[in-house]
Amino acid sequence: MLPLTQRLKEILLRDNLVSAQDIERALEEQKVNGGELSSILLKFKLISEDQLSIVISEALGIPIINLASFKIDPAVLKLVHRSVAQTYQLLPLSMIGDQLTIAIMDPLNVFAIDNVRAVTGMSINTVMAMPKDIKTTIDRLYAEDTKTSLDEILKDIKESEELELVKETSGALDKKEIENLLQEAPIITLTNAIIQQAILAKASDVFIEPLEEALRIRYRIDGLIREIDRMSKTLHFPIISRIKVISNLDIAEHRLPQDGRFRVNNPGGKEVDFRVNVLPTALGEKIVLRVLDKSLDILDIDKLGFEPDSLARLKECCQKPHGMILACGPTGSGKTTTLYSILQHIDSPGKNIITVEDPVEFQIKGFNQVNIRTEVGLTFPSALRSILRQDPDVILIGEIRDSDTLDIAVKAALTGHLVTSSLHTTTSAGSITRMINMGVEPFLICSSVIAIVAQRLVRQLCLKCREVYTLSKEGIEQFHVNELMPGHNMMFYRPKGCDKCFNTGYKGRIGITETFVLSSKIRELILAQASEREIKTCAREQGMKTMREDAVIKACRGFTSLEEVVRLTVTD
């Protein structure tokens, strides 16, 4: 009998679904990066999901069933949580003894089948169904089970003998015994629910925190932290340990901080990376998960919220053959996203792009990404010295933290490399003063720095419930609306709150920026060691809009509210 890959190839070519060149391209991708051939065909959009299902059905000899003819017992449906069914596009059909039969669009997805086996504790048989039928049936049958809270799962866990065993004996168990307990269905289901809810809520961070008598779960959504749930303190150890297991961390280490990462699929099937940090506290270990959802189109420079004139100035600077472009702002202001977007914009097969980060946030194909490991001596300065011997065209430095890193970055920009990096300063002009204080001579700044982007993230108004109002005459003068948006009708929007935005009035975030380009006059001021205010005034005279002005323009266009403008910016 022919190997599965060969059978798939023959059927695809026989039915003229793909060309021989397409097959070779997919096989080459599989050889380089691994993965299932079926997933690669879908990724390259060489074949539709329906066509792939028919091909796999013939290759494996597994018939495709009609889900409309099945009546599924609600008790069987409850064996698999809705989030699991949506994530892996599968449906439990029937149960006989300890055998569970599921309908799945891709029976080659071993990870999905293993996950269902772990959650249910049953042996799994598979049949195939068309993707659209599975999706429709999931939406229909789970319609009455749309709870996103964790109450039902927590009830199951409270009744679990395995949890009681963990509670009573966790201090005496060895590493292997703990790992075995963490494979029990209730803990897996609870941890998966916390993770999947964070993705659905578009949270940027998940906080799992031990309190004196409870375990608190909080999400950071649109920049603000919200408490989602409080659970029994007995859940703390198994949840923390389960996350350590999937992050490849040491579950027996409770005294030292640890860093890791893991990857899951969101309900739409796209990959989401989680960066994990474990911190020992007085009440037990606290975990923070940074959600890095690559499916949100956040790496497109045209979608970051730059005003057209600022975007044009930045794109022009990106095309320079050498020099330094800096992004500045506080933690969580989107600096790394801006730097990645710049690299995506200028990326081409003819450029050697290398990044050095602590840690690598997004793993992007085509980029050579270096993860800093200070424990073995791989620091920013040591990595950069080696990178410069790799003949790079573009270098991304995750953050300039010390004078050694800054010195190497400046020299790299002076010797024919385009360098992008970030600084923790509040304004673009303030970055000049910061670099001088770190020991860089003004003439080197003038010769190396091309542009500096200062930025923040403001919350976007919910389009479903925002309220319109007319700004008063005093407000028009306070925010200089006539100067920034001549002819504006003075109609602004404010938050109200609805079920789509958690009653906050806001949904999503957008960047406010100031793009500071070093002109010849600004370079003269830097050489003369002019003050930050003088440099900023000159930049504004040459067309730079400050973050405050950029935010007011976005409020005029209905993207955000003036309350957000006041909260996140200062008067120029």
DSSP state letters, 450-517? EEEEEEEEEEEEPTTT-EEEEPPHHHHHHTTHHHHSTT---EEEE----GGGTTSSEEEEEEEEEEEE
**Residue type at 487 in one-letter notation:** G
- Angle, helices 335-346 vs 308-318, to 10°: value is 60
Handedness of CA 525, 528, 533, 534 (dihedral sign): negative
Length of the chain: 572
Print pLDDT tens along the chain (572 aa): 456 677 878 888 888 888 888 888 888 877 766 666 777 887 788 888 888 888 888 888 887 888 887 888 888 888 887 777 877 788 999 888 888 899 988 787 776 787 787 667 788 888 888 888 888 888 888 765 444 444 554 555 444 444 444 444 444 445 555 555 544 557 787 888 888 888 888 888 999 999 988 899 999 988 888 888 888 888 888 899 889 988 988 888 888 999 888 888 765 667 788 999 999 999 999 999 999 876 555 578 888 889 999 999 999 999 999 999 999 998 888 898 899 999 999 998 889 999 998 878 777 777 899 988 887 888 888 999 899 999 999 999 989 988 999 999 999 999 999 999 999 888 899 999 999 999 999 999 999 999 999 999 999 999 889 999 998 888 899 999 999 888 878 889 999 888 778 788 998 889 999 999 999 999 999 999 999 999 999 999 998 999 999 999 999 999 999 999 999 898 76
Handedness of CA 7, 8, 13, 15 (dihedral sign): positive
Token pair in block for residue 23: 């097959």
d(CA 292, CA 184): 27
pLDDT on residue 162: 44
d(CA 139, CA 373): 45
Q: Are the C-beta atoms of residues 449 and 517 closer than 8 Å to each other? A: no
Backbone angles phi, psi at 124, to 5 degrees: -115, 125
Q: Which residues of 363-375 are buried (b: 16+ CB within 10 A; e: fewer)?
A: ebeebebbebeee
Cis bond upstream, residue 131 (ω within 30): no
DSSP H or E stretch at residue 277: strand 271-281
pLDDT on residue 149: 44
Sheet arrangement for strand 271-281: 224-232, 214-221, 205-210, 284-293, 271-281, 258-265
Q: Which residue has tokens 């702002």?
A: 329
Strands 449-461 and 353-357: unpaired
Ranges assigned E (strand) in 408-448: 418-423
Q: Which residue has tokens 């911190």?
A: 279
Closest CA to 345 of 369, 320, 368, 323: 320
Strands 394-397 and 418-423: parallel
Residue 325's CB is within 10 A of a number of other CB atoms, namely 24
d(CA 342, CA 338): 6
Q: Are the C-beta atoms of residues 425 and 436 closer than 8 Å to each other? A: no
DSSP H or E stretch at residue 124: strand 123-128
3-state class (DSSP) for residue 323: strand
d(CA 243, CA 251): 9
Q: Tabulate helix, strand, coil % of the chain (nearest 5).
A: 45, 25, 30
DSSP secondary structure of 527-540? HTT--HHHHHHHHH
- Looking at residue 330, what DSSP letter applies? S
d(CA 48, CA 56): 12
d(CA 348, CA 366): 9
Closest CA to 328 of 252, 244, 426: 426
Bridge partners, 324 (sequence order): 419, 449
Q: Which residue has tokens 């609805």?
A: 498
Q: Are the C-beta atoms of residues 165 and 131 closer than 8 Å to each other? A: no
d(CA 59, CA 3): 10
pLDDT on residue 512: 94
